[in-house]
Copies of this chain bind each other. A is one copy, B any other.
């Protein structure tokens, strides 16, 4: 019976449009920063009315995958998490005990992502992680804070791990925690250098294909977040 319910949902036009837009993006037909075809064109192509397309786009905006620019077009987001900022804490109103559970679960997922990255990473992944780390260092050197660049580095690790479910789960909870921790933490040169050094250690262990070392480096990096969050109670 539950299976029948799922099947019906999968046939809903909006979900089908979401799946097809996702395929456009995954296949590289439309790249980050580029515009999707206009709503009317998509509606024509899918054989549905514009409302369906608008609803699909609106939902994909929640996921951070698309960004709508009125009277101009709909752009594909590069890292897919911009709109997820504050998603969990603000919208869902997570209680304190549940927030601690979020932090602990994030640590579990991130350590596993680092371990898998050390096992499964390839040369392209290393370039991506390295580039993300450089962006992070550059921003940190300038501002002592670098939320999006911090997230991007963690996302690149998850991608190198090659487990899409793990990555999706991390995408739900990591942005919120990174943001709230960064907002409250003291941002100075010492803390910035510590973060940079920790990120470097993680990437080094992943490059060296050392799963246990990567887990340990990630643990060191996250311990401060964990202690800080527990202290808040």
Q: Which residues of A contact B (CB under 8 A)?
A: 15, 18, 22, 26, 55, 58-59, 62-65, 79-81, 83-84, 87-88, 91-98, 101-102, 104-105, 108-109, 112, 162-166, 168-169, 171-173
Q: Determine the chain B residues whose CB is within 8 A of the CB of A166 once the complex forms.
A: 101, 104-105, 108
This chain's copy number in the assembly: 2
Q: Which 5 A-B residue pairings sit nearest by Cβ, starting from the closest?
A: A101-B165, A105-B165, A101-B163, A81-B98, A62-B62
Most chain B CB neighbours (cut-off 10 Å) among A87, A93, A96, A101: A93
A84: which B residues are within 8 A, CB to CB?
A: 88, 92, 94
Residue of B nearest to A179 (CB): B3
Q: Is there an interface contact between B164 and A101, defined as CB atoms closer than 8 Å?
A: yes
CB distance from A21 to the nearest CB of B (A): 10
Q: How far is the CB of A22 from chain B (nearest CB, A)?
A: 6
Q: List 16 A-B contacts (CB under 8 A).
A: A15-B93, A18-B91, A18-B94, A26-B93, A81-B92, A81-B94, A81-B101, A84-B92, A84-B94, A91-B171, A98-B165, A101-B164, A104-B163, A105-B165, A105-B166, A105-B169
